[in-house]
Structure 1
Amino acid sequence: MQKLLRAAVLSVVLTVGLVTAGAPAIAAVVSSIVVQGNTRVSDETVKAYVTVAPGQSFGPEQVSESIEALFATGLFSNVTIRQSGSSLVVTVEENATINRVSFEGNRAINDERLAAVVESKSRSIFSRNQVQADTQRILEVYRRRGNYRASVEPQTIDRGEGRVDLIFLINEGSKANVARITFVGNNSFSDSRLRDVIKTKESGLLGFLRTTDVYDPDRLQTDQELLKRFYFNHGFADFRLLSAVADYDRERNAFFITFTMDEGEQYEFGAVRVDTTLADLDPTELERKVDSRPGRRYSAEKVEKSIEDLTLAANRQGYPFADVTPVGERNFENGTIDVVYRVDQGVRAYIERIDIVGNTTTRDYVIRREFDIAEGDAYNRVLLDRAERRLRALGFFETVRIATSPGSAPDRVVVTVFVQEQATGKISVGFGYSTDEGVVGEVTLEERNFLGRGQYLKGSVSGSFEKQSADVSFTEPYLFGYRVSGGIDLYTRFAEDVDDSNYDSNETGGTVRLGVPLTEQTSVQVFYTLFNRDVSVDQSDCDDGSLSKAVCDSDGNRITSLIGTSLTYNSLDDQFNPREGYYGQIKGEVAGLGGDTYFLRGTAKARAYQEIYPAAGLLGMVSLEGGAMQSLNDDLRIQDQFFLGGSKVRGFSSQGIGPRDKASGDALGGLYYVAGTVEATFPVPFLPPEIGLNASAFADAGSLWGVDPDIVDRNGGEGTIDSNDFALRASLGVGITWKSPFGPIRADFAVPVLEEDGDDTQLFRLSGGTRF
């Protein structure tokens, strides 16, 4: 009786458990498994996911596990398991197969890009969960471009035989642009200056041509780092970015971004010294490598550069594991930071290998050659940081990150380079206007990472009614595997009878060049140039005396073959919109290695930029340049000489300054020239900064003189030429620059205050263009 009672209780408990689990009442043991409802999936495939085996005991847990396993395959839309006699019957409803995936209503993003985003593909199994995930992926793509009102509705069309068409109906909605960017707590720099630092831009006039005026959380994170680095490099070592908030206004469909900051005090470098525990290193000698000099404005970038230079100096003296640590001490009374660079022996570790992840186009060796270390070398974090900075500067990658992990031994390190590639090709179409040439058009094709080899290739065609040109340029930055750049430039240019040049000129040629970096900011280049210039003069003008004899004498073809070298220093903070730094170049050329022209020519130029009053956005610029040349025979032509005017000395036409023929007024050029500019630029007051208008006040001065004596003789002597001696010209003026989405457009109004008889003046000058 006790055994019968126990059996009865167990039966009741089993029945209640099965009912509670939602499963049918089934026997503890079945003899077979039967599959029903499947048409494409085989019985064996279904049975493989059933955890119940014939002849084994089972319970509700095994049934539940089997159902979950079958659903997890994504092959079925419904699964039931029940007992039928001694068999376990598994009934399935198969998911349909996707016949095709299509998108409707999308105009801003093409089908190819959306198809790459979704995981539902043609001939794959239809899954509602997958479709919902794809819907969110499409919405995220639209949010990334600012379409926060976009909506996506997936629909299916039954095509029979278990096939469906999957259609994503898209309502893109309007873009949610960045209406305003506000900075709170910036006392030292103007809002317009800080807007130049960050990548996110306000949507204003012609904002539809931009892609950076939409809210992107990743871009906002980058902007925060850019602001921090900007302040740290301008002496604000205590700077804190308190918050960066993007508020979305649903009614206006726009974002309002606010950066709140605490600038802190601005510091200069105080006492700077080097301490070392390495006996063979002389601290006094190492201090010469330090870029952070006492009295200069504090800069985190200069500290990093000093660490890098000290590390390399220690490595060259036999300490590959040297570790440089900066220690700063603030002096709040005089606003300085004393810095001590401590050079110690670091941890002995070696690079086991360097792995590269994420590059699909760029070749591995293009990334590896930016490292000063390789597998087997001593591990040094400073050199890795240097390589990371170089990789970012290439412009090939959207993100670059170098991480380390333990190797196969305690003294081994594995270096992994994570990169995310970005588009490196560009097709641009430009239109512009200048008072010299009128309407100008340009088409340019550019590839910065040609065939993933890191090579630079550019081709352009431009022209106006008076001038046309075509150029092709190719550069290999690592010639023969060394940090030596090599390149070739080919061009052809045609200029009609315009301005002060009363002749047509057709010039075709090319340049072969080699460049070697001496430091991060200094480089030297050697080049060879060969070109043919064909000058066409109207002989009837020569016969009646309306053209100078020097111009008439230049008629015909002449080949010029020259070799030259240049030394360049560049510390500008931005190559296109500099606000701080120096640029200088010295160039020397010798013509006469064959060809028809023989001369020596030297030029020098220098520019300096400095923010005068950062809080108001006031920027100062000073430039100076000059040149001198000497004929090596008696056959120099006027086109070989210098000409001056136009953009170098505003207030005068492009060849409006210098020696001229007395009778015809033709510009003859000169052997010597000098030109300089002092300019202050500032935002136009009382106008919204998002318009991008800047005003400037400037003073230009320069002179061109000294026609080659043989040209003077061929023209009829000194009595036939005016303004052949040094005479300074100068002008004062104001200008307006518009940083338009099409590119910078500038208008200058200059009044000559020093001029000579015969000079050709030009009070107004307009230049600019578009590129998109």
Structure 2
Amino acid sequence: MRVIGTALRATTIAALLLAVACVAQTFSVTSAVAAVVNRIDVTGNERVEDETVRAYMTVQPRRAYSDQDVDDSLRALYATGLFSDVAINKRGAVLVVSVTENALIYKVSFEGNDKYDDKMLLTQVKSKPRSVLSRAKVEADTQLLLELYRRKGRYRATVEPKIIKLAQNRVNLVFEINEGDKTGVARINFIGNHAFSDSRLRDVIKTRESGLLSFIRSTDSYDPSRLESDQEALREYYLRHGYADFRIISAVADLDRERNTFFVTFTVEEGEQYTIGEVNVQSSLASVGPEELASAVRTDPGDTYDSREVDKTLEDIVLEVSERGYAFAEVNPRGERDYENHTINITYHVDEGPRVYIERIDIRGNTRTRDYVIRRELDFAEGDAFNRVLINKAKRRLKNLGFFKDVAITTQRGSSADRVVIVVNVEEQATGELSFGAGYSSAEGVIGDVSITERNFLGRGQFVRAAVGGGESTRTYEFSFREPYFMGRRLSAGFDLYRRQYEETDYRSYEETTTGGNLTFGLPLNEEVQLNLTYSAYQRDFDVADELKDGCYMRKYNRGDPIPRSCDRNGDGKFDRNLDTDEASLAVKDAIGETFTSIIGYSLIYDTRDDIKRPRDGYYGKFQQEFAGVGGDVAFIRTTVEGRAYREIWADRGIVGMLKVKAGHIESLDDRLKLPDHFFLGGETIRGFGTKGIGPRDGMTRDALGGRYYIAGTAEATFPLPAVPSEIGLEGALFTDAGTLVDVDDSANFFRRVNVVGDNGDLRWAAGFGVIWHSPFGPIRADFAWPIVKSKWDETQVFRIGGGTQF
């Protein structure tokens, strides 16, 4: 037993000794890690203060710290971007922080850049003069510049940063750029399309194939953001033409690095084309029944399904029920497909939606456009009821301004469940334009103009344009200003100032100078109808060249009348050789002098065209009346009307039909009309005839006298020219024009001596073909037309060209 006890004691003592050793070891390790220093010294710094360095450190004097604290301090100091090297060492009771400061950038410059100037590139990079050089920031700037050139379609661009050391730890940062060749789009292919050809779908999207005109446009390069917008354009196009099941399976851009070009492929699934079957409205609102909302429905049974008409119906119903006190109403369209008959039955469900209010509207991305310019396009404000339909309408309005490359409206949760924050993100684009125009008119000869236009003046959404133009026989000077929201209301206001000088030509036996201006006010009655009010005042100086008003007219005296002494000074019975033996009409000479005209007027415009420049679908109508006599020297009432209809006759082949009708009437409110106030009709309206080539005429002098009534119509079909690459932009046109001009105001006494001919109102009719070039500089058109029905007094003209360029 004694032995056992001795062994137990020995074991116990050994265990205690082992425990003490472990504690001692642990204490020793802890003491080594959790050290304390009396102060922290900073060395190597020149610009950065010692206290600034200490402020970033987690180690503090007279406080225990660990190795982890030292690592955290190192990371914090490196993260400032102020230092290229940092070391922390303990020397007795002092912790020494040795730093090597990053250099200070003295200048940032760019070499080899041509597509972007230095000023623009400097706004893109984060490295700025008088900032600290950071290699991480330089690498990021390099990638930013490469991405900028890729968006420009230059995927072979390279950017190499160079650092040039200067005295006092300063450097110059130089980005050496090799812009490389433009990376074009060799081919755009579509897979799965049957209803529309590849060529038609290429017209729908913005991306273009590289070709002869690549040097003057940028849309033939690959841009990821443009590819996304192209997909949306394809969806909208198919949904507008009844393909409700359309979807894009993929949109791929493959880069051929060897050829430096992209191959873009859209794979689509069209589905079937649907027409509209039954259309119903269901309402759960207590005081608004379905029959009261029927007038707001734009989708009619039997029509081809069109997503635009559905969207407009939603907007109209929402506005209708909002006016009846249901600010939170929701309208949800539900389509029931009949796959066998290819119809869609549409039911619009109107319900009382959740009571959600708009807490705040944030505008982002607008560096130039003022906030209020964006907010005024919104039909809602902070505190209003939230409605998704009005959000979509606002997005469409902002896009239509033309100020922004992209518009996105998103929502975020507000401070409570019934509050929402609306975020409007915009990406601005250039709105200014310096244009140089050049062209040729069969009537005026060579013409040209220079204009400066700004559609978003000072970011206020105002339109300003100044232009100077002229030709062989014309001089024009114009200045225009438009405020789209006059006095903070959706009322446009503006003015025009102009001076136009016309010299005598083969078709104009007089000189005319007009100086004046207009005041205009526009009130949109809805999305499609606008009322314009105008006031115009101008001074007209009308004169005839001396040789055309001297009475020496050969045709008159060839009938046997004696030649006056003023035309035969030598008395040989013949006209003097130095005389021009033509003469202006008495009606033309009657208008000689200065006339001041003061006019008030209004116009109603209806416009549903899908594109103002190249419409393929929709209607345009205008009714205008003008009253002269609010002061001034003349008094008349002038009424004009015009209507146009566009429709894709064969969408797959790009054939577009157009019907146009226009008419006018002017009536004097005092004694009679002066010649310049009459209507004139010619090749600009009925091709195949000369300028002012139709209607009443002086049978002796052949001067056009104009008329008080006219009517004209056109039927035309345009189509892409076969075997011509689409990127060239050439189209053909077949057309026929018809019309008449009648009833010159011959109430003046001198008309007893004027032989008025061609005033019988007979119909004129012509037909022909044309070639249209939609060049990057603007449309240029040449027409060949031949009169089918004409008067012997008319002046004809087979070929006519007009248009201009902007570059």
Normalising by structure 2, what TM-score?
Answer: 0.91
> Percent of aligned positions with the same letter in both sequences?
52
- The residue that corresponds to 1:596 in the other structure is 633
- The residue that corresponds to 1:739 in the other structure is 774
Quick check: 140-149 or 179-188, which moved more? Answer: 179-188
With over 3 angstroms needed to count, the CA separation of the structure-2 counterparts of 1:52 and 1:479, relative to structure 1, is closer
Deviations 1:538-572 (A, max 9, x none): 24322213221111111111111122111111110
> Residue 679 of structure 2 aligns to which amino acid in structure 1?
F
- The residue that corresponds to 2:108 in the other structure is 101
Contact 2:511 2:545 in 1 (8 A): no
Alignment of 1:331-730 (within 5 A): 331-542=338-549, 543-545=551-553, 546-710=583-747, 713-717=749-753, 720-730=755-765
Equivalent residue for 2:241, pick from 216, 234, 239:
234
Contact 1:152 1:169 in 2 (8 A): yes
With over 3 angstroms needed to count, the CA separation of the structure-2 counterparts of 1:573 and 1:11, relative to structure 1, is same
Q: Distance in 2 between matches of 1:475 and 1:40?
A: 54
> Residue 712 of structure 2 aligns to which amino acid in structure 1?
A
Deviations 1:703-736 (A, max 9, x none): 111111225x423356x02101111111111111
- The residue that corresponds to 2:8 in the other structure is none
- The Cα of 1:199 is off from its aligned counterpart by 1.8
- The residue that corresponds to 1:19 in the other structure is none
Deviations 1:401-450 (A, max 9, x none): 22333333433333332223322222211111122222211111112222
Q: Distance in 1 between matches of 2:459 and 2:224?
A: 29
Q: Distance in 2 between matches of 1:373 and 1:154?
A: 49
Alignment of 1:305-320 (within 5 A): 305-320=312-327
- The Cα of 1:670 is off from its aligned counterpart by 0.9
Alignment of 1:68-79 (within 5 A): 68-79=75-86
Q: Distance in 2 between matches of 1:37 and 1:374?
A: 57
Quick check: 664-673 or 371-380, which moved more? Answer: 371-380
Alignment of 1:313-328 (within 5 A): 313-328=320-335
Q: Distance in 2 between matches of 1:163 and 1:413?
A: 50
> Residue 252 of structure 1 aligns to which amino acid in structure 2?
R
1:136 is aligned to 2:143: yes
Structure 1, gaps ≥5 residues long: 16-24
- The Cα of 1:384 is off from its aligned counterpart by 2.3
> Residue 544 of structure 1 aligns to which amino acid in structure 2?
C
With over 3 angstroms needed to count, the CA separation of the structure-2 counterparts of 1:540 and 1:466, relative to structure 1, is closer
- The Cα of 1:286 is off from its aligned counterpart by 0.8
- The Cα of 1:482 is off from its aligned counterpart by 2.2
Q: Distance in 1 between matches of 2:286 and 2:67?
A: 76
Contact 1:231 1:237 in 2 (8 A): yes
Contact 1:407 1:413 in 2 (8 A): yes
> Residue 343 of structure 2 aligns to which amino acid in structure 1?
T
SS in 1 for 2:296: coil
> Residue 427 of structure 1 aligns to which amino acid in structure 2?
L
- The residue that corresponds to 1:22 in the other structure is none
- The Cα of 1:290 is off from its aligned counterpart by 0.4
Contact 1:187 1:615 in 2 (8 A): no
Higher CA-based Rg: 2
Contact 1:537 1:555 in 2 (8 A): yes
Q: Distance in 2 between matches of 1:416 and 1:132?
A: 32
SS in 1 for 2:351: strand
SS in 2 for 1:318: coil
Quick check: 132-141 or 179-188, which moved more? Answer: 179-188
- The Cα of 1:10 is off from its aligned counterpart by 5.8
Q: Distance in 2 between matches of 1:45 and 1:593?
A: 78
SS in 2 for 1:219: helix
Quick check: 546-555 or 358-367, which moved more? Answer: 358-367
Contact 1:403 1:417 in 2 (8 A): yes
SS in 1 for 2:507: coil
With over 3 angstroms needed to count, the CA separation of the structure-2 counterparts of 1:6 and 1:406, relative to structure 1, is closer
Q: Distance in 2 between matches of 1:63 and 1:419?
A: 46
With over 3 angstroms needed to count, the CA separation of the structure-2 counterparts of 1:715 and 1:426, relative to structure 1, is same
Q: Distance in 2 between matches of 1:50 and 1:373?
A: 51
- The residue that corresponds to 2:563 in the other structure is none
- The Cα of 1:2 is off from its aligned counterpart by 4.3
> Residue 393 of structure 1 aligns to which amino acid in structure 2?
N
> Residue 316 of structure 1 aligns to which amino acid in structure 2?
E
Q: Distance in 2 between matches of 1:77 and 1:441?
A: 61
Contact 1:539 1:552 in 2 (8 A): no
- The Cα of 1:741 is off from its aligned counterpart by 1.4
- The Cα of 1:213 is off from its aligned counterpart by 1.9
Contact 1:549 1:716 in 2 (8 A): no
- The Cα of 1:375 is off from its aligned counterpart by 2.6
Q: Distance in 2 between matches of 1:34 and 1:592?
A: 92
Q: Distance in 2 between matches of 1:407 and 1:603?
A: 54
> Residue 162 of structure 2 aligns to which amino acid in structure 1?
Q
> Residue 145 of structure 1 aligns to which amino acid in structure 2?
K
Q: Distance in 1 between matches of 2:200 and 2:502?
A: 40
SS in 1 for 2:330: strand
Equivalent residue for 2:298, pick from 291, 296, 299:
291
- The Cα of 1:747 is off from its aligned counterpart by 1.1
SS in 2 for 1:340: strand
SS in 1 for 2:438: strand
With over 3 angstroms needed to count, the CA separation of the structure-2 counterparts of 1:280 and 1:717, relative to structure 1, is farther
With over 3 angstroms needed to count, the CA separation of the structure-2 counterparts of 1:376 and 1:49, relative to structure 1, is closer
- The Cα of 1:43 is off from its aligned counterpart by 2.5
Q: Distance in 2 between matches of 1:350 and 1:82?
A: 60
Q: Distance in 2 between matches of 1:557 and 1:246?
A: 66
Contact 1:619 1:682 in 2 (8 A): yes
Deviations 1:206-263 (A, max 9, x none): 3221122221101111111111011111111011111111111212211221112111
Q: Distance in 2 between matches of 1:3 and 1:85?
A: 32
SS in 2 for 1:301: helix
Equivalent residue for 1:757, pick from 784, 792, 800:
792
Equivalent residue for 1:33, pick from 35, 40, 46:
40
Contact 1:587 1:604 in 2 (8 A): yes
Q: Distance in 2 between matches of 1:352 and 1:96?
A: 47
With over 3 angstroms needed to count, the CA separation of the structure-2 counterparts of 1:430 and 1:667, relative to structure 1, is same
Q: Distance in 1 between matches of 2:161 and 2:367?
A: 32
> Residue 763 of structure 2 aligns to which amino acid in structure 1?
L
Normalising by structure 1, what TM-score?
Answer: 0.95
1:62 is aligned to 2:69: yes
Quick check: 345-354 or 433-442, which moved more? Answer: 345-354
Contact 1:26 1:83 in 2 (8 A): no
Contact 2:672 2:745 in 1 (8 A): no
With over 3 angstroms needed to count, the CA separation of the structure-2 counterparts of 1:351 and 1:186, relative to structure 1, is same
> Residue 471 of structure 1 aligns to which amino acid in structure 2?
E
Quick check: 254-263 or 538-547, which moved more? Answer: 538-547
- The residue that corresponds to 1:192 in the other structure is 199
Q: Distance in 2 between matches of 1:203 and 1:77?
A: 47
